[in-house]
Amino acid sequence: MKFVHIADMHFDAPFAVLNSRNKLGEKRRLEQREVFRKIINYIKENNIEYLFIAGDLYEHEYIRKTTAEYINNLFKEIPNTKIYISPGNHDPYINNSIYKNFNWNDNVHIFKGKLEIIKENDCNIYGFGFNDFYCKNSIIDEIKIENKEQINILVMHGSLNGGTLENMEYNPINKNKLKELGFDYVAIGHIHKLDYNTEKDQRIVYPGSTISLGFDELGQHGMIVGELNKENIKLEFIPMDNKEFKEIELDISDLNSEEELIEKINNLILEENTYYKIILVGDKNFEINIYNLFKFISNENIIKIKNKTKLKIDLEKISKNNNLKGLFVKEILEELNKENYNKELLENVLELGLDVIDKK
């Protein structure tokens, strides 16, 4: 059997960071549609029998009926492909959800809160979905494979071995217990990072987010294509997103003015199909106003600028002065020496405070 496995498309996500630069969020939503069409075209051209969508297909808060119609019209173009969707924490199967209130095509099956088993000719599909925005109690312990002679596949959304309190709220699953169940393939979603070839004969797979949603999702994004029988599995990751998010560190220690910095940023050689975050590092010799920088940056693919520079001053020396500036710096240094502190916050307070004192 041949299948495509995707997750975490997040249709109609607001893309707030991108919208700060000439409404690039709207462009990104069009790119979501383009990527999804490419996936459907791949399925058509390669006679793929199954499409597994492991949650967060859309954003419940923002999804429009026209977007659901667009998705469903593409589903209609692959009538011979059976589509299984496991709702996640961003698109749960609830009373006012698009899943429940839209007339989906006949080849679409949407799992609900309880475990379901769908018996196909060549495999058994197990699945369940979120019926709320949180799922603190996984039903993994309730699952028993009925016929181990058949190919058995599990489709779901959740956190594998999630140790943090946040991950415990999104269908927390013990990976070893999941392996012991003996599924031939587990199509899982929720973690936006690709995980499919990190161990031998891997059967539990995160495809990552189908398109990158921001600078916490660097690198390529796309889909998993699989070919599976009872003895063997063949998996391939195929990038589908033409755009990447990348970070560039820019040392400004040798610059002496904001004008020089703007010139250096504008002279960067950047790739056309890439969104960039510029991280400013080094010792700074002038005040940096991020908002002002964006007024003069010519490349619209520079979406974000992060200031991680340090003041080029001797703080220890200043702290020994018996004046307002010295007392202020001494207080900040004492806070920085404590175990539990927010370094970035304190450095910002230090910079702003010195700027105010110097202007008095």
Residue 236 to residue 4: CA distance in whole angstroms? 10
Among 213, 239, 265, give the residue marking a domain's end: 239
**pLDDT of 163 higher than 60:** no
Same domain, 203 and 339: no
Q: Range with the lowest mean pLDDT among 2-6, 8-12, 336-340? A: 336-340
**In the Cβ-directed half-sphere of 304, how many Cα atoms lie within 13 Å?**
20
Q: Are residues 234 and 253 located together in one domain of the fold?
A: no
Q: What is the mean pLDDT of the chain?
A: 91
pLDDT digits (tens, 9 = 90+) for 284-320: 888 888 989 999 998 988 999 999 998 777 778 888 8
Examine the domain organization and report whether 186 and 323 are in the same domain.
no
Output 319 or 101, whichever has higher pLDDT: 101
**3-class secondary structure per residue, 15-45:** CHHHHCCCCHHHHHHHHHHHHHHHHHHHHHH
Q: Which residue is listed with tokens 């502190």? A: 341
What is the sign, positive or negative, of the torsion defined by CA atoms of 208, 219, 235, 44? Answer: positive
The answer to whether residues 170 and 259 belong to one domain is no
Q: How many domains does the chain have?
A: 2
Instruction: Tell which residue, 30, 20, 93, 16, has the closest CA to residue 66.
Output: 30
Condensed to tens digits (0 to 9), the pLDDT of residues 107-122 reads: 999 999 899 999 999 9
Between residues 22 and 161, which one has the greater pLDDT?
Answer: 161
pLDDT of res. 103? 97
Same domain? 253 vs 279:
yes
If asked whether residues 51 and 102 sit together in one domain, one would say yes
Strand partners, 237: 224
- CA R_g for the chain: 25
Identify the DSSP state of 125. Answer: E
The boundaries of the domain holding residue 316 are 245-359
**Mean pLDDT, range 271-278, rounded to an integer:** 92
Q: Helix 65-76 crosses helix 24-45 at what angle (to 10 degrees)?
A: 20
64-73, 142-151, 238-247, 307-316: the lowest-pLDDT one = 307-316
Residue 164: the pLDDT is 66
Helix (H) or strand (E) holding 274: strand 274-281
CATH of the domain at 113: 3.60.21.10
Q: Both 73 and 130 in a single domain?
A: yes
> Kind of pairing, strands 123-127 and 116-119?
antiparallel
Q: How confident is the model at residue 29 (pLDDT cuts 50, 70, 90)?
A: very high
Give the end of a domain, one of 216, 239, 262. 239
265 and 132 in a common domain = no
Domain co-membership, 225 together with 291:
no
Q: What confidence score (pLDDT) does residue 27 get?
A: 86
- Mean pLDDT, range 84-107, rounded to an integer: 97
On whether both 151 and 169 belong to a single domain, the answer is yes
- What whole-number percentage of the chain has pLDDT above 70? 95
Contact 335, 347 (CB under 8 A): no
Q: Are residues 14 and 47 in the same domain?
A: yes
Confidence of residue 359 (pLDDT cuts 50, 70, 90): low
pLDDT class for 105, splitting at 50, 70, 90? Answer: very high
What's residue 77's pLDDT? 98
The domain boundary, picked from 239, 268, 302, lies at 239
Q: Assign residue 269 a region (left: φ > 0; alpha: ψ between -120 and 50; beta: otherwise).
A: beta
pLDDT of residue 245: 92
Q: What is the pLDDT of residue 360?
A: 63
Is the same domain home to 289 and 354?
yes
Q: Is the model's pLDDT at 253 over the cut of 90?
A: yes
Of 358 and 285, more confident: 285
What average pLDDT does this structure show over 259-275?
Answer: 94
